[in-house]
Copies of this chain bind each other. A is one copy, B any other.
Amino acid sequence: MLETIGYLAGFLTTLAFVPQVMHIYKTKSAKDVSLAMFLLFTVGVLMWLTYGVMTNSFPVVAANAVTLLLSLTILFFKFKYRNPNGI
């Protein structure tokens, strides 16, 4: 039960970035998405990944590897579709 909640929590907080990637891809706009947020988030996820590897925790490694890819995709889009009037 407890483990299921942990896995479901990790699944949801990872899955959440998929609609954000799709949203930016469809609208070709990412001006309201904060660059600082995704820079800090990507570094944080990279550290979670390191933590997972060092503690041999497969769920932490798996969830954060996927989140890292999605977070890097959003950063890529942020630069690709940057708006000169955006922040």
Task: List the interface of chain A (C-beta within 8 A of B).
Answer: 2, 5-6, 8-20, 22-24, 26-27, 29-34, 36-38, 40-41, 43-45, 47-48, 50-51, 54-55, 87
Contacts of A16 in B (CB 8 A): 36-38, 40-41, 44
> A77 to nearest B CB, angstroms?
10
> A4 to nearest B CB, angstroms?
10
Contacts of A24 in B (CB 8 A): 32
Is B54 within 8 A of A40, CB to CB? Answer: no
> A21 to nearest B CB, angstroms?
8
Give A67's nearest chain B residue, CB to CB: B13
Is B32 within 8 A of A2, CB to CB? Answer: no
Give A8's nearest chain B residue, CB to CB: B47
Contacts of A34 in B (CB 8 A): 19-20, 22-23
Sampled A-B contacts (20; CB under 8 Å): A5-B47, A9-B48, A10-B48, A11-B44, A12-B40, A12-B41, A12-B44, A13-B45, A16-B37, A19-B34, A19-B37, A19-B40, A20-B34, A20-B36, A23-B33, A26-B87, A27-B31, A29-B32, A31-B32, A32-B33
